Amino acid sequence: MKSNDLKFDFDDILISPAVTSSIDSRKTIKILDDNGMLPLFTAPMDTVIDLEHRKIFTDNHIYPIIPRTRTKFFNADDCIRVNDWVALSLDQFEKLFLADNGAKISDPIRICIDIANGHMQRLLDAVIKARKKFDERMILMVGNVANPQTYMELSRAGADYVRVGIGNGSGCSTSVHTGIGYPLASLIHDIHREKENHAIRYAKVVADGGIKKYADIIKVLALGADYVMCGGIFNKALESAGNTFAANKKFEGYTVPGDQVDQYSDEVKTAFKMGSLFYKKFRGMSTKEVQAHLGNELRSSEGVTRMVQVEYTLDGWVDNFKDYLSSAMSYTDSKDLAGFIGEPQWNLITQNSLSRFNK
């Protein structure tokens, strides 16, 4: 059955300022959540984050999620010991925690069941079983989904966080090849409308995929997402886990990657600050390359691999984001995240309007 509702995405809307704002200084605005973190997760991608350097993200108030390529040999004790979000395949999760001889948990543990198709009944059943077995001792993030009703079902099942968005990500080609998807801005908006119509325990909404700029993140929050997950944006930071290469000085314009370097070394950090060019490897987690690394049976790829230019340091990007989010919240008279998420008014705009704002 088709829907006659025209769906929209980030460039199709602008947030409206409040009629008047009582905020006269952005310094008074609370942009961190109750844990002192920004409403941001790293995507569980191995060209974004790894076990050794995840503290770089937490120091910048970003929640890290360790990717499946780093946890493929994890046992339950490893998941507990990491003391951060850990991504597992559904097979791993069932084997480690839901089997009859599965792990017992005393302290809360944070698990992201990381699968492309979060619409499977098997995932829903796993959430129900995990919630019954572990109660509040397991904090579960699941997805990805691209249907508001699926989000509602996973909420009812007991998921704590649901990743929403299929085919939007810069490393994902699912929608291109399969025709499956849902424009992310509309998806967040439609989920928010569903939440207003039901009195149940809701999972936190984690918008995942297709976030290209600061304004996209701010619009996602204004539309009703509790958190935003970023992959490509964080990959472009010098400190991300993607293999890093100096520009090839033998090539005119230095626009081709050269030798691999250590992005965490003082030498490279200094060179970047002085204007040297560097490039990163970026790959989606559904590429054949990742499938082979995980030991999975190879299938048609629904991800992309490419080289991207390093654009900023992570702390530089975060400083800008904090300023832009605070500014947006001051315009909308939002003193904290709870007063901003899903609250501001917004307008659909024409392509001509977008062209005037894009500079």
Q: What is the pTM of this model?
A: 0.89
DSSP states of 266-301:
HHHHHHHHTT--EEEEEE-TTSHHHHHHHTPPP---
For residue 323, which phi and psi values (nearest 5 degrees)?
-65, -45
Predicted pLDDT at 297:
57
Tokens of 341: 């998420």
**What is the model's pLDDT at position 200?**
72
pLDDT of residue 249: 77
* Peptide linkage before 147 cis (omega within 30 of 0): no
Say yes or no to pLDDT of 53 above 50.
yes
Please compute the mean of the pLDDT values over residues 280-289 and round it to a whole number.
66
Give the contacts of 36 (CB within 8 A, at least 6 positions apart): 61
Q: For position 1, what pLDDT does the model report?
A: 46
* Residue, of 283 and 105, whose pLDDT is higher: 105
pLDDT for the residue numbered 3: 60
What integer is the mean pLDDT of 239-246? 94
- pLDDT score of 302: 53
**Confidence band for 290, pLDDT divided at 50, 70 and 90:** very low
Show the domains of the chain with their CATH numbers.
10-237+315-352 (3.20.20.70), 244-314 (no CATH)
